[in-house]
Amino acid sequence: MILFVKKKQLLQTVKKVVLRKATRTAPAASPKEQENLMWKSGVAMWYNLGKEILHVGLIRTLSTQNLYLRRYHMVESLKALLAEWKETRSITLEFVNELSDSDLDRKLPRKVLNTIRLQVYELTLFQRDVVNALPTTVLKYEDEYRYENLPKQALVDKMAELDAKLEKTLELLDGTEMFEYYGEQRNVHQIISMMTAHEQMHIGQIVAFCYATGIVIPENITKQMALEG
C-alpha cells in the first residue's frame, strides 16, 4: 500500500523539479513550450517512479511469500518422506506400547542389542544424531552408543520429542540441502530415507525375533504388515 502523505506539497515539489529540469534542457524555449516539456517530463518521471515502486513491491512480496513458505509450509517431497517416517515409527511405538515388560526384555539371539527394549533405544539414538545434523551440513554418529534400559513411557516420550523436533526442522528446509556423510555428499532426502530404512530394518529384526522366541506380535502390527501373527 502506498500512502500519499501531504499530497499537495509533494505535487508542488515534483512540479518545481520538473520545471527546473525543463528550463535547463531548453532555456530558449517559449513559456508554452516549457509548459509542454514540463508535463512530458513529469509524466515520464511518474511513470518511472511507478515502475520502481511496483518492482520493489513485487520483490518484497515474493520474498515474504518465500519466507512464509519456508517457515510455515514443508516442501512436498519432504512432507511425503515425513509421512513414510510416521507410518514406520507407528509400528515401533505399537511394539513398545502393546508388549509387556517381560517381552520387551526377553533375550534375543543377538549380541549387545539382545532385547526389543534395547533395539528401540538404539533407534532413538540413531534418530537423535540425524535430527541434530539437519540444521548443519555434516551427519556423523557419536563414536559409541551407550545403551540404557529405559522404562516404556520414557521410550515413548523420547520418540515423541525427537519426532516433534524432526518435523519442526524439516519445515525450515527447502529440499536442496546437502550433507557430508563420511566422505560422501548426500541430499537431505537421502538422509531421511536412510533413517526410515534403518528403523524398518530393526522392525524386521524385531518381528523375526518375536517368531523365534514366541513373543505374540500385536494384532494391529500383524494387520498393518500383513503378517501371519
Question: pLDDT tens-digit profile of 110-139?
Answer: 889 999 999 999 999 999 999 999 999 899
**One domain, residues 156 and 66:** no
Q: Do the beta carbons of residue 40 and residue 47 sit within 8 Å?
A: no
> Could you tell me if residue 1 is inside a domain?
no
pLDDT at position 146? 80
Q: Give CA–CA dist 90/50, Å, rounded.
A: 56
Q: Give CA–CA dist 165/229, Å, rounded.
A: 34
DSSP labels, 89-111: HHHHHHHHHHS-HHHHT---SSS
Please give the residue range of the domain that contains residue 98.
74-224
3-state secondary structure of 128: helix
Model confidence over 178-224: pLDDT tens digits? 999 989 999 999 999 999 999 999 999 999 999 999 999 999 999 99
pLDDT at position 119? 96
| H helix runs in 142-187, sequence order | 152-170
Exposure of 40 in the CB half-sphere (CA atoms within 13 A): 9
Whole-angstrom CA distances from 10 to 13, 20, 31, 39, 41 are 5, 16, 23, 16, 16
> Could you tell me if residue 60 is inside a domain?
yes
Of 41, 71, 101, the domain-final residue: 71
> Could you tell me if residue 153 is inside a domain?
yes
**One domain, residues 106 and 13:** no
Nearest to 85 by CA among 4, 160, 192, 162: 192
Nearest to 85 by CA among 114, 121, 123: 123
**One domain, residues 133 and 41:** no
pLDDT at position 89? 98
pLDDT at position 64? 47
Question: If you average pLDDT over every residue of the chain, what do you get?
Answer: 81
**One domain, residues 44 and 108:** no
pLDDT at position 166? 97
> Could you tell me if residue 2 is inside a domain?
no
**One domain, residues 86 and 192:** yes
Of 17, 52, 71, the domain-final residue: 71
> Could you tell me if residue 176 is inside a domain?
yes
**One domain, residues 85 and 65:** no
> Could you tell me if residue 156 is inside a domain?
yes
Of 39, 71, 103, the domain-final residue: 71
**One domain, residues 96 and 153:** yes
CA-CA-CA-CA dihedral for 85, 91, 95, 98, to nearest 10: 120
pLDDT at position 3? 39
Beta bridge pairs of residue 180:
138, 185
**One domain, residues 115 and 58:** no
**One domain, residues 166 and 183:** yes
pLDDT at position 73? 66
Reading the block at residue 58, the C-alpha cell is 513485487
Global confidence as pTM: 0.68
> Could you tell me if residue 177 is inside a domain?
yes
**One domain, residues 198 and 121:** yes
Q: If 0-12 CB within 10 Å is exposed, 13-18 middle and 19+ buried, where does residue 64 land?
A: exposed
24, pLDDT greater than 90: no
**One domain, residues 146 and 219:** yes
Model confidence over 68-111: pLDDT tens digits? 444 446 899 999 999 999 999 999 999 999 999 999 999 998 88
Instruction: Please count the structural domains in the chain.
Output: 2
Reading the block at residue 106, the C-alpha cell is 526377553
**One domain, residues 15 and 119:** no
Query: Cell numbers 505399537 label which residue?
Result: 94
pLDDT at position 148? 85
Nearest to 119 by CA among 129, 133, 108: 108
> Could you tell me if residue 119 is inside a domain?
yes
